[in-house]
A and B are shown apart, each in its own frame.
Chain A
Amino acid sequence: MILFDTVTKLYPNQTRPALEDASLEIEKGEFVFLVGPSGSGKSTFLRLVLREERPTAGNVWVLGKDLSRLSNWKIPTLRREIGTVFQDFRLLPNKTVFENVAFALEVIGKPKAHIKKVVPEVLEVVGLEGKEERRPDELSGGEQQRVAIARAFVNRPKLLIADEPTGNLDPGTSVGIMKLLDRINRLGTTVVMSTHDAQIVDQMRRRVVELEHGHVVRDQSRGVYGYAR
């Protein structure tokens, strides 16, 4: 699903690489936590998967494609198979819940009939039925994140990237979001989630990959957030 082969990423005008010789394989259907302090390379890892950045050295494979050989005009096709969720939700404030989810389908040219059918379905999956006509500012943070997840999942992507999805939410709400991501994972979507939330990681007991200074320092199946130091 994702394969990093000795990947190094050095941003221009920086002396220390954001990722250095990182190798990692994530299998289909896995649920992986990416942990580590700020600046450890988590976001760079996710940006490389989305081909928002290219590695300075090494190869990145995503969904069976070598991203270094992927031409620019094929990037959209890759991203249609990857759902993305962020800490700040990234919803359009002037659109309703329904329109926000529908937007993701409209801009890739899906027909209206298809949109009318699948958007209510996915809103039910994330538990937002009955709130189709609300606007983001009328929703709680947890509900807004559910809209974002619905938008990421409406295309039934093979891979879901979540960059600190619970970072802006209180613990109770976070649990609900995690249950939802777990459900999506059980529906067959690989989930890669970066987080700072030790409690969540410890509760879920899934694979944990820890990054520090751009290196993979720990890779544990059924891991916890950190060792007691």
Chain B
Amino acid sequence: MRAQFVASEVGSGLRRNLTMTLAVIITVAVSLTLFGVSLLVRAQVDTMKDFWYDKVEVSIFLCAKGSDTPSCAGGAVTPAQRDQIEADLESLRPLVQDIYYESQEEAFARFQEQFANSPIVDSVNESALPESFRVKLADPTQYDVVASAFSGRPGIEQVNDQRQVLDKFFRLLGGLQAIALIIAVVMLVVTVLLVVNTMRVAAFSRRRETGIMRLVGASNLYIQLPFLLEAAVSAGIGAILAVGGLILAKSVVIDQILAPSFQFTAFVGWDAVLGIAPILILVGIGLSGIAAFLTLRKYLRV
């Protein structure tokens, strides 16, 4: 195998077929960028889940004076009921990791803080706010165990899971990710079709050379390798552009636009980008290499 000969064949092939080469590079770049973005969104969802699930808690609101749910028919929660609830929560360890009791005074203080600039503060007094247990679960997905044990019990107004609110948000992100993935897959299919056609044109435009190669006894590998490398090189360039797009997305969209405005949450780090980049390059080169190989088997038969 003479590397120099193969390399010069690849170079002249790429130049001869410049428009098709550019088309392959662009479609590979666009499809892989979308593919990379969808992977990045998924990494983002995972990051946010890790970040938030650590912080979410189940809130068990106790009946206050004037609560109107059926379980509060007996008026405000009695000290006996409250002690019983706390004891039952303790018995749920180790599923229940932390229990924190928030009294009406504390609830009122927090409320005042949260709505400091709002006139609503003046219209609410301490007794209207429920006292509550804030429970942190070892496994946030086991929320149902707590909910079924406590909701509807006398003295308990409501059991709230913060996770459910977050899940709606995560589902939205998941939907966006799915859309990006679908577009990426469609674009990858387009890329494969384009590579197939490019290889057909390349094989046809060089049928004279390949015909002579066959006659003088060049091996299949020798005949096909320049074509395969051409497909791999153009796909590789496209993949590198896609990695560039991903780096741009991370450094501009995430680090400079999203992160400063949403400081309360975590964003994916560079490690996610570093993990996705080789996937993009492998998918790009692999897919176009396989498409080229299968096409050439048909058009460059011995």
Contact = CB atoms under 8 A, between A and B. Distances in A.
**Do these two chains really belong together in a complex?**
yes
Interface of A: 50, 72-73, 75-82, 84, 90, 92, 103-104, 106-109, 111-112, 151, 155
Given A78-B217, A151-B212, 12 more contacts: A73-B220, A75-B302, A80-B217, A82-B217, A84-B216, A90-B212, A103-B209, A103-B212, A104-B216, A107-B213, A108-B216, A108-B222
A79 B211 contact: no
B172 to A, nearest CB: 55
B211 A107 contact: no
Nearest to A102: B5
Contacts of A107: 5, 212-213, 216, 218, 222-223
A77 B216 CA distance: 9
B214 interface: yes
B5 A106 contact: yes
Contact of A90 (B5, B208, B219, B223): B208
B75 to A, nearest CB: 90
Main secondary structure of the interface of B (DSSP, over half): helix
Contacts of A77: 217
Contacts of A106: 2, 5
A108 B217 contact: yes
Contact of A76 (B1, B2, B208, B220): B220
Contacts of A50: 215
A82 B2 CA distance: 22
Contacts of A90: 208, 211-212, 215
A90 B210 CA distance: 11
Interface in B198-256: 208-209, 211-220, 222-223
A106 B209 CA distance: 12
Interface of B: 1-2, 5, 208-209, 211-220, 222-223, 302
A9 B70 CA distance: 93
Given A72-B302, A106-B5, A109-B2, A79 B209 contact: no
B36 to A, nearest CB: 39
A197 to B, nearest CB: 23
A79 B222 contact: no
Given A75-B302, A90-B211, A92-B208, A109 B1 contact: yes
A75 B301 CA distance: 11
A104 B216 CA distance: 6
A92 B212 contact: yes
A102 to B, nearest CB: 10
Contacts of A104: 212, 216
The 3 closest A-B pairs by CB, nearest first: A80-B217, A79-B217, A107-B218
A2 B209 CA distance: 28
A108 B217 CA distance: 7
A92 B211 CA distance: 11
Nearest to A151: B216
A114 to B, nearest CB: 11
Contacts of A111: 2
A50 B208 CA distance: 17
Contacts of B211: 90
A82 B214 CA distance: 12
Nearest to A72: B302
30 contacts: A72-B302, A75-B302, A76-B302, A78-B217, A79-B214, A79-B215, A79-B217, A80-B216, A82-B217, A84-B216, A90-B212, A90-B215, A92-B208, A92-B209, A92-B212, A103-B209, A103-B212, A104-B212, A106-B2, A107-B5, A107-B213, A107-B218, A107-B222, A107-B223, A108-B216, A108-B219, A109-B1, A109-B2, A109-B222, A151-B216
B86 to A, nearest CB: 79
Nearest to B12: A94
